[in-house]
Amino acid sequence: MTRTPGTVWSARRHARAVRPRTDTQVGELMHQPGAMPVPPAAPADGQTSGHVQLPPGAVIPAAAAAPGAAVPDAAHAGVAVLLIGPAGAGKTTVARHWAERRPVPTAHISLDDVREWVRAGFADPRAGWNDRSEAQYRLARRTCGFAARNFMANGISCILDDAVFPDRPAVGLGGWKRHVGPGLIPVVLLPGLDVVLERNAARTGTRRLSDEEVATIHGRMAGWYGSGLPIIDNSRHDVATTARMLDEAVARSLTSPPQW
């Protein structure tokens, strides 16, 4: 059979289409304008869920504490803060208030909000912690970490909030340190159990937990005592006062960064 130039070109195009691409070619395709991202194979390190990895970027470096340095002006410092606490601690409310009232550009990134970007197929942790809910949590954490680094690289401070457990590596500080960097400042917000139960009772939708779940989470959060991280008991403080206490904790961490 005589092949026309068009037939030869079509055959060559087909051969290129079915030929396996190298990792380098896949990476180039993912960065072509308008190209559909091709998910790479999931690494076998147990640290990812198999989704497309976000660009690594530059992690936020830890601040070096100068001997005898004065307490810095935390209100004007460029910082990335992680506000930790159980359900009902007031993390999101305090973080939003703190971000809105700083004299320098500051963003608020809530991990729960990012997790709930998934609508169809959302793995609700209330139905039980499993591989799907953990995979979606890890994906949300990486997304938040990338956003924090991007904001900081553009001169915008940020505060993130998450219920990080001191005794569970999957939802622990190690992942945040890996995705944001050692310059992230963790602060624990831990009011009394009666306070978080009352606040949880006022919630609706997926944010509302059973009293048993709230009590269990709160009990595990008590493990942060003795960890060296700054802890704020906001049981008897309003949002504005708690935000001022957060400023003080951040200032102390800038002077003497906690070991975590």
Q: How buried is 95 (Cβ within 10 angstroms: 0-12 exposed, 13-18 middle, 19+ buried)?
A: buried
Q: What is the pLDDT of residue 179?
A: 93
* Per-chain mean pLDDT for the chain: 79
Name the more confident of 51 and 78: 78
Are the CB atoms for 166 and 228 separated by under 8 Å?
Answer: no
Averaged pLDDT for residues 204-218: 79
**Lowest mean pLDDT, pick from 39-53, 109-123, 145-159, 190-204:** 39-53
Q: In 3-state terms, what secondary structure has residue 228?
A: coil
Banded model confidence at residue 71, pLDDT cuts 50, 70, 90: low
Q: What is the 3-state secondary structure (H, E, C) of 85-148?
A: CCCCCCHHHHHHHHHHCCCCCEEEEEHHHHHCCCCCCCCCHHHCCCHHHHHHHHHHHHHHHHHH
> What is the reported pLDDT for 167?
85
pLDDT band of residue 63 (cuts 50, 70, 90) is low
Among 107, 110, 111, residue whose Cα is nearest residue 78: 107
Q: Is the pLDDT of residue 32 over 80?
A: no
Which span out of 38-47, 71-80, 151-160, 206-215 was modeled with the highest average pLDDT?
Answer: 151-160
Q: Cα 50 vs. chain centroid, distance in angstroms?
A: 18
Residue 22 has pLDDT above 70, yes or no: no
| pLDDT for 54 | 60
**Is residue 11 over pLDDT 70?**
no
State the chain's maximal CA–CA distance in angstroms: 88
